[in-house]
Structure 1
Amino acid sequence: MKWIKTLAVSFLGLMLMSGSALAQVSYQHIRNATGKLSYNNTVFLIDPMLAEKGRYEGFAGTFNSEIRNPTIDLPETKEDVLKGVDAIIVTHTHLDHWDEVAQQFINKDIPVFVQDEKDAADIRHEGFNNVQILNKDIVFQGVRLTKIEGTHGTEAMYENPEFAAVAGESMGIVFSADGEKSTYLMGDTVWTVRVTKTLHNYRPDVLIMNTGYAKVLGYNESIIMGTEDVAKATRLMPKSKIVAVHMDSINHCTVSRKNMREFVRLMNLQKQVSVPDDGETLNLDK
């Protein structure tokens, strides 16, 4: 039976040499909207905010603006956050998604993917040499990146020119590759027809949702998603895994992880929805 053992060892060797055979989709939540998505053996660092606790003033004109940001520290060192990272995703350049510490600390030659020419120009001005705009699908190391436009507030909010100027544009991304679970990083957006169409057209296996329900003074609605949006996502995509993030770290978020976990429990969604702690890694293939 020696030949059987030899065959088994050879087969294992082929598996180890084949990246796609052992590729695993995982997400390590760092803090707020910052996370590391490991996809098709490629690691994307999403929306890096790397400052220490309390470095910045609270966002003016928002809920709890007297509280300094970020409200909690990173769960690990900046060096550890950057370990193994192949590329950076910046969904938009608001401070809680792309801060001055990240700009100074991150290697200037690493690929950075952005939503438009404005963000690209800003990031190039900060010294980054490999900034790519997702104005069409881009394939990076075997991973297809598809830009999905976000809406960082309601239509009524955007009718206010001052709000529109501050909120600006934002994006989500669909990650896809042969043999991998498609993943929709929603980014900072409220629920829109475009979100529903994206779910219908791409049928993503994984949804990463920003659900802190951040509030701007003078408006009843939020500028990002919250608990009810998570419930809606589970109804529309009952087989998808959902990761809820962007909570507990920034002054204007009104939904905490404690709130979200209680909501998930009451709605009996624990098998579908994860609310990771800072530093926690989720295996999304299971």
Structure 2
Amino acid sequence: MLSKTFASSLALTTALIAGNASADSVSREATQQVQQIRNATVKITYGDTTFLIDPMLAEQSAYPGFENTYRSELRNPLVGLPMPAEDVIGDADAVIVTHTHLDHWDAAAQELLPKDIPLFAQNAADAELIRSQGFNDVRILDDDAEFGGVQLHKTGGQHGSDALYAVPELAQSLGDVMGVIFEAPGQKTTYVVGDTVWRDEVEQALERYNPEVIVLNTGAAEVTGFEGDPIIMGREDTLRTHQAAPDATIIAVHMDAVNHMTLSRDELSDYVQEEGIQDHVSIPADGEIISF
């Protein structure tokens, strides 16, 4: 589908990237970019520093669907990458893994990424796991860090409602998650919210950092037995985020690529049009770059 982009006082420019040459051309023209790759995989560039977030790099249908979730009979990923995986990782200076679920950190990424690439994890457990997979520069984002002239701040969240976390098996499988704030001099503060539902931690991060760009995982994924109680944000949360940060650009991702997402790009596009917030919400296609 064609993404819903906008022209506002934020002066955004979007471009659909067909390959490396186009991406390089856009890179020379802009100092800050957010590129939607697929699913929750996103690249964020500040000047000469590029972060690869939550890489899931497998070919289409490489993995079984997630058990005990919506449409678990489908194989993941549902769609292919918009470019070769080698091109996704080629200009990455560092990787951020918000949590180690398969759709954020898969075997293909573990195989393809250089083992010496700087990699940020949310806690000691995730760092230990990633080191066991052969990576030798794994850093724990306890709170704040600096990389390539960009300040990183860890934010909190919860991968589902309190009702889901009251079930021990679900609490263990959903686990811990984080979001990340990116700040650099002269650039727009960007908030990658991560796999969370609307929580006090999200609202507090919005109030504390006042981000101008918010990357929101909006696929409203569901597990069996908890229909209507998604484990990440969806339609209404997109509106709620806009209401909490009315001047921010929301970039909606994590749709149309894994089996348990219940909200599609088309459906979210219709919703933001109905709510009259389409000038504040971008829904990029896979491969698309939004430049600031």
Provide the C-alpha distance between the structure 1 equivalents of 2:235 and 2:200, rounded to a whole number of angstroms: 18
**Cα distance in 2 between the residues matched to 1:173 and 1:149:** 9
Distance between the aligned counterparts of 2:33 and 2:237, measured in 1?
Answer: 23
Following TM superposition, by how much is the alpha carbon of 1:136 offset from its aligned partner in structure 2, in angstroms?
2.5
Compute the TM-score of the two structures, normalised by the length of structure 1: 0.90
Distance 2:283 2:246 in 1: 17
Pair 1:243 & 2:256 matched: no
**RMSD between superposed Cα atoms in Å:** 1.0
- Within a 5 Å distance, the mapping from 1:1-12 to structure 2 comes to none
Q: What letter corresponds to residue 258 of structure 1 in structure 2?
A: D
Specify the structure having the higher radius of gyration (Cα): 1
**2:88 paired residue number:** 81
Matched, 1:30 2:6: no
Letter of the structure 2 residue corresponding to residue 225 of structure 1 = M
1:257 maps to what in 2?
265
Q: 1 CA distance for matches of 2:45 and 2:220?
A: 26
Residue 12 of structure 1 corresponds to which residue in structure 2?
none
- Other-structure match for 2:132: 125
Tell me, yes or no, if the aligned pair for 1:40 and 1:142 is still in contact at 8 Å: no
The DSSP-based 3-state class of the residue aligned with 1:187 is coil
* Match among 45, 65, 74 for residue 67 of structure 1: 74
Structure number with higher relative contact order (C-alpha < 8 Å, ≥ 6 residues apart): 2
Matched, 1:144 2:151: yes
**How far apart, in 2, do the equivalents of 1:238 and 1:230 lie?**
11
CA-to-partner distance for each residue in 1:52-84, whole Å, 9 max, x for gaps?
A: 010100000000000000000001001111121
Q: Helix, strand or coil: the match of 1:170?
A: coil
Letter in 2 for 1:167: L
On the 8 A contact 1:51/1:102 being kept in 2, the answer is: yes
Contact kept, 8 Å, 1:40 with 1:143, in 2: the verdict is no
Report whether the alignment pairs 1:93 with 2:89. no
How far 1:117 moved relative to its partner? 0.4
Residues 196-275 of structure 1: pairs in structure 2 closer than 5 A: 196-219=203-226, 220-275=228-283
In the TM superposition, residue 180 of structure 1 has moved relative to its aligned partner by 1.2
Q: CA deviation at 1:23?
A: 6.3
Aligned counterpart, 2:179: 172
Matched residues in 1 for 2:211 and 2:290: separation?
A: 17
Q: 1:174, 1:193 → 2: CA distance?
A: 16
Cα distance in structure 2, aligned partners of 1:126 and 1:269? 43
Alignment check: 8 A CA contact 1:150 1:190 kept: yes
Rounded to whole Å, the distance in 2 between the matches of 1:118 and 1:139 is 21
Aligned residue in 1 for 2:14: none
Unaligned runs of 5+ in 1: 1-21
Contact 1:59 1:65 in 2 (8 A): yes
Given that 1:227 and 1:263 are in contact with CA atoms closer than 8 Å, whether structure 2 keeps it comes out as yes
TM-score (norm. length: structure 2): 0.88
Q: Distance in 2 between matches of 1:196 and 1:136?
A: 17
Give, in whole Å, the separation in 1 of the partners of 2:213 and 2:259.
28
What percentage of residue pairs aligned between the two structures are identical? 49
Matches within 5 A, 1:33-44: 33-44=40-51
How far does the alpha carbon of each residue in 1:97-136 deviate from its partner, in whole angstroms, 9 at most, with x for none? Answer: 0000100110000000010000000000000010000012
Q: Which runs of 4+ in 1 moved over 3 A?
A: none
Q: Which of the numbers 48, 54, 76 marks the counterpart of 2:61?
A: 54
Q: Deviations over 1:177-229 (max 9, x none)?
A: 12211000000000001111111111001000000000011113000000111
For 2:125 and 2:63, locate their aligned partners in 1 and report how far apart those are by CA, in whole Å. 23
